[in-house]
Amino acid sequence: MNYTFDFSSIAIGPLLDGLFVTIQLTLAANVIGIVAGFVLALLLMSPFAIVRVPFMLFVEFFRCTPAIIQVVWFFYCVPMLLDVFLDPLMMGILALGLNLTAFNAEAYRASIQGVPREQRDAGIALGLNPLQRIRYIILPTAFRESIPVLLTNGIGIFQQSALVAIVAIQDLMYEGKTLATATYRPIETFTVVALIYFAVSFPVSQVVGLIERRRALAAA
């Protein structure tokens, strides 16, 4: 291989503009995913099948289709079906936010159901009624337990958000493609783009690792 790298034509400015859009997408999708995911988790655990089943299908739809299809479908089909036309960035946020909602709901559900039975017993022995046990014991314990998974899902959406470039949202990936075409330097451009994604994701993934190691120590 005798390729000579030349980074001189890679303008960082547009890439940082793109990163800014990507971060907006990620943060907004995470707000949706963290809040709506929690509500969805409660619905998934409803004792009534008529409530539970439609929401289970909702979750399975997102788990069993490629994210890229979800984005495209959302972008082209929803406006036509519902006759609503939102700003592209809003559409991107909704598509990613709903995807994250489905995955976070599963994380919440698993940790709510994973709260040890002893915690419920302790709550009864202390005279707390069922609602108080859910409100003051089960949900807070479960929320803490689910934090590493929420962070992992959240940073996953940061990476998945690159998919919205195909529907012309001017995120980091989109700016990267534009720059690559304009400079005829795709290798250098995508190297820089990859490094930017990495620089944001890596610290978060380290934090997740740290939390998990501390948990393992506390449990020992």
Closest CA to 159 of 146, 170, 176, 172: 172
112 and 142 Cβ atoms separated by less than 8 Å: yes
Does position 216 interact with other proteins (CB under 8 A)? The reply is no
Smallest gap from residue 49 Cβ to other proteins (A): 22
- Choices 29-37, 125-133, 154-162, 171-179; region in contact with other proteins by CB under 8 A: 125-133
In whole angstroms, what is the distance from residue 106 CA to residue 110 CA? Answer: 6
Smallest gap from residue 147 Cβ to other proteins (A): 11
Q: What are phi and psi of 185, to 5 degrees?
A: -125, 60
Does position 212 interact with other proteins (CB under 8 A)? The reply is no
Does position 6 interact with other proteins (CB under 8 A)? The reply is no
- Choices 16-24, 86-94, 114-122, 147-155; region in contact with other proteins by CB under 8 A: 114-122
Task: Report H helices in the chain.
Answer: 12-44, 49-63, 67-82, 88-113, 117-125, 130-133, 139-160, 172-183, 186-219
Cβ-based nearer residue to other proteins, 60 or 121: 121
Task: Select from 79, 114, 140, 203 the one that contacts other proteins (CB under 8 A).
Answer: 140
Smallest gap from residue 37 Cβ to other proteins (A): 19
- DSSP assignment string, 1-44: --PPP--TT--HHHHHHHHHHHHHHHHHHHHHHHHHHHHHHHHH
Task: Select from 132, 181, 205, 206 the one that contacts other proteins (CB under 8 A).
Answer: 132
Number of residues that bind other proteins (CB under 8 A): 17
For residue 120, the one-letter residue type is R
Task: Select from 129, 181, 205, 206 the one that contacts other proteins (CB under 8 A).
Answer: 129
Instruction: Kindly list the residues in this chain that would bind other proteins in the complex (CB under 8 A).
Output: 118-119, 121-122, 124-129, 132, 136-137, 140-141, 144, 218
